[in-house]
Chain A
């Protein structure tokens, strides 16, 4: 985990060209970690999603520097269909865990979004106003929804990790 974080900091300071070249290194780093801890399975869905926590409402949370980035999972964006509008909260809005904070409108329906944590909205993804389809195309990366503070870190422990979330999705099909 530390190695991956260090790598991410390193790559953020380099030009895009260097990042391209560095990619194979990242894969090796992941493999090293896997060898070190074989019990930890890496989902084939996305190596990014291994750092994420999930809610049973299919939102994910990534914590970096005390700020949580929130988005919806691949399962959710597939179920939604093409997103045509993202109704997001204002910066500064305070949210309680499980509180409805917005909605995504797709060709299927308007689907409500529920806050995974208690905190204050620090940033919303302005790209989604012009390109709501980013939620479908890149749900774990550029299709993030909001960033927020973490007022109660213990809430993170109650969220699912990647493996538990995969099991949870499978149980929904049954």
Chain B
């Protein structure tokens, strides 16, 4: 598989610099190549930069008569779906302790753990050519091409299962004005212990209409066959993509922090990083729970009722037995929490 950097591609395109004045450089260069199929791989392992690049391609590249495959991996991160509740989906405390960021993507679907042992494959097409089954077939065929005995199958929910049991891939998708993207993960050699630790929510008593993940047992492809490696799998998928769609595209490397080639991308990455997006976009929810208060001499229960809108406490009522805490203090405490 020939790897070309974006600058090589640019140099080969005669009209590159002329077009750069008229419109954004990457989309101009892509138009100039005249190719209907392209494969891009990100040079970054930053979740926010890569999510921003995904959105940038969706918004700026002409996908009416063109397909693109975008390959990317990230340093450890938890990614929730557009309409999900992070308190319901993951263990935020463990994530903070381990320095694992939370990201909210713009596509739907459930919560996933990313690390360098997980490969993300985003298939870009026009809305008309949006076909998740076909995309997943690229992945299963690529894996079977490497290991013909391997039992990998796509399900109705657009997961890929290994041996009919373990999930190795999940899907998220977004339909925009004229284009669509379908992203799937692929577990090659992810840290499963860390995955289990961060995807175990600890917050109790949440009542919410946010979209909820469907938990599944997972496995790495390398657990099944240690002779496989991430790079071989990625190369095979890229190759199969070309075969399936009749393209002959090399894998082009892209730097998602390159503002000159990707105007506006840094603002997009900042928006994805912002608290207002990751936590503030959580659908309105309430918490109704009791917890135990213990001291040397007694145990009792306290009840907590809260409404949280845009990630901020809107109403709060804490009831603690008055011999533990005077009612006025409980009320004052509740009032202080509002707005946090």
Contacts and interface: CB of A to CB of B under 8 A. Distances in A.
Given A85-B83, A110-B108, A130 B209 contact: yes
Contact of A108 (B81, B82, B106, B173): B173
A96 interface: no
B21 interface: no
A87 B209 contact: no
A170 to B, nearest CB: 14
B116 interface: no
Interface stretch (B32-40, B174-182, B325-333): B174-182
A103 interface: yes
A112 B177 contact: yes
Contacts of A43: none
Contacts of B106: 110
Contacts of B109: 110
Chain B CB count within 10 A is highest, among A103, A105, A109, for A109
Interface string B72-88: 00000000011100000
B83 A110 contact: yes
B108 A109 contact: yes
Contact of A109 (B180, B211, B283): B180
A165 interface: no
Contacts of B211: 84-85, 105
B123 to A, nearest CB: 12
Given A84-B211, A85-B209, A109 B175 contact: yes
A110 B209 contact: no
A85 B285 CA distance: 14
A129 interface: yes
A112 B180 CA distance: 11
Contacts of A84: 211
Contacts of B172: 110
19 contacts: A87-B283, A103-B83, A105-B83, A105-B108, A109-B107, A109-B108, A109-B130, A109-B174, A110-B81, A110-B82, A110-B108, A110-B109, A110-B173, A110-B174, A111-B175, A111-B176, A112-B175, A129-B209, A129-B284
Interchain residue pairs A-B with the least CB separation, the first 5? A109-B173, A110-B108, A105-B108, A111-B175, A85-B83
Interface of B: 81-83, 106-109, 128, 130, 172-177, 180, 182, 209-211, 283-284
